[in-house]
Amino acid sequence: MARGDNRYMVSGSESQSSVPRPQRATSNPSSSDAYDEGTEISVLTTRIGIYGWKKFCLYIVVLFLIALSLLNIGLIVFLFRVVNLDLDSAGPMHFYKDRVLVRGRAEFQGGITASNISGFDNSTLLVESNQQIILRSLESPPSTQKSTVVLDGINVNVDTPNFQLTYDNTPFFTASPEQTVIASNDIVVESPLGLRIDGSVLVPKISNAYDRGEGLTVESIGQQLTMRGVEDVTMESTTNRVDIKAQQGINLQSTQGDIVLDASNLRLTDLPHNGGSGPRHLCMCGGSKRIYTVVHTSTCSQAASSFC
């Protein structure tokens, strides 16, 4: 740099390099007149910015990020349209503050925890599974007591310590390991083979259905029929007769009391007799207690040799 001149001169040629090299000189300018006194000044010239291949790569990266952002936005919009997502719904499921409403078919891969599951008004609630449907209720706090209902294609299994059917909060069927209580007014068994009970039946009364007009039949096929009571056993017909029939014999036995035949007329048919007609005498053998009849013109002792 020349002295005594206000112009700045930098050694070297600018054509040799796009970025000129800095030149350094000592300087202590204290006033504007210092330049005229031969002061050397250091000047640093630097180009600011990104040029060449770096600038090209930066633009490529920016364009790639913009394209990726637009692609993500398009995919999000596509998913919202396909899955029918909204601010308060997802397909057939609509989310509210106090409930979840399902309009259509929904499949749940895991468990569902809810305090209430109900159907729409005037519609059917369908719970369907190609495997078992298990309904289980546990006591709170959890213990060994639980109730389970298992539904499959063949059986309905109810596992509970106490099973009860009610109508209008009134139980009409209760079953437990101790006893089974049926509180219905009428129990009808439509089986053609009837009702089979393995064990004893304790009932205060057995009566027929009067409106059907079928009567009441107590029958034992191939086995004996026993009617036993600690106190009185009564067989009564208030409007018609009582028939007791047997193929081999009828035994009337009283260990302590009497056998009383109380009727206005007593008819003994097909008793052994010695022939004849007219009034007859009723006789009994002393040893065998066999009853026979003889005509009134004869005596029992005369015919005893024939019947006893």
**b/e sequence 284-301, b meaning 16+ C-beta within 10 Å:** eeeeeeeebbbeeeeebe
CA distances to 8, 232, 256 from 108, in Å? 84, 66, 78
Q: Is 56 helix (H, G, I), strand (E, B) or coil?
A: helix
Among residues 99, 102, 75, 100, which one has the least CA distance to residue 91?
A: 102
Question: Is 0.75 topped by the overall pTM?
Answer: no
C-alpha–C-alpha distance, residues 206 and 129, integer Å: 45
> How many C-beta atoms lie closer than 10 Å to residue 307's C-beta?
19
Query: Per residue in 33-76, pLDDT tens?
Result: 444 555 666 667 766 777 788 888 999 999 999 999 999 999 99
Torsion of the alpha carbons at 101, 107, 109 and 113, rounded to the nearest 10: 30
Residue with tokens 């409007």: 239
C-alpha–C-alpha distance, residues 77 and 297, integer Å: 125
Query: Per residue in 231-287, pLDDT tens?
Result: 888 888 888 888 888 888 788 888 888 888 888 887 777 888 777 777 888 888 887
> Dihedrals φ, ψ of 294, to 5°?
-135, 155
